[in-house]
Amino acid sequence: MADMYGPSKHRLLIVSNTAGTSTADPSGSDARTLHAATGVPVLTHSTKKPGCGPEIMAYFASHPESGVTHPSQVCIVGDRLFTDIMMANMIGSYGLWVRDGVRPDRAIFARFEKVLHDGLQKRNFQPPSPVSPFET
């Protein structure tokens, strides 16, 4: 499966708050297992989401073949508003929230995220649009 993505393999990156973090996966074994199962690189990082944006951009900078030079060229896909989508907004990238089809999280913050989302949507709140420094 590792060759499935060919020359685009560094354009995808898994960023987890468990696999690859220095606190939850200090040996990196979970990150290696996830990479072996998916063929997608797993970011090894010291700061959990939403604060690891600089580490994500450093990864892409270290892989110039990805073509990613600015956060506006990145789309963060995740199931948490307060980590994944907040990080996308913090670094100036696109954020795609996967609300349905994920394992239900019964934690108070996960439930609050959905209530907050619905309230903002009812008020026609519009999220910021990422902008490249090359656009005018």
Residue spans per domain, the chain: 6-122
Q: Which residue has the tokens 């506006």?
A: 72
Q: Tell me which of 3.40.50, 1.10.246, 1.10.3470, 2.10.25 is the CATH number of domain 6-122.
A: 3.40.50
Q: In whole numbers, what is the pLDDT of the chain averaged over residues?
A: 87
Q: Quote the pLDDT of residue 128.
A: 77
In angstroms, the Cα distances linking 68 to 63, 99, 114, 136 are 8, 27, 31, 19
Beta-carbon contacts of 85 under 8 Å, excluding residues fewer than 6 positions away, are 76, 78, 95, 97
Residues 84, 90: contact at Cβ < 8 Å?
no
* Rounded average pLDDT over 28-47: 95
| Average of per-residue pLDDT across 5-31 | 90
How far is Cα 9 from Cα 14, in angstroms, rounded to an integer?
Answer: 11
Give me the numbers of helices (H) and strands (E) for the chain, helices first please: 4, 2
Q: Which residue in the block uniquely carries the two structure tokens 């913050």?
A: 109
| Global pTM value | 0.80
pLDDT of residue 1: 47
Q: Which residues of 26-40 are buried (b: 16+ CB within 10 A; e: fewer)?
A: eeeebbeebbeeeeb
* Angstrom distance (rounded) from CA 20 to CA 28: 6
Query: What was the pLDDT predicted at 125?
Result: 87
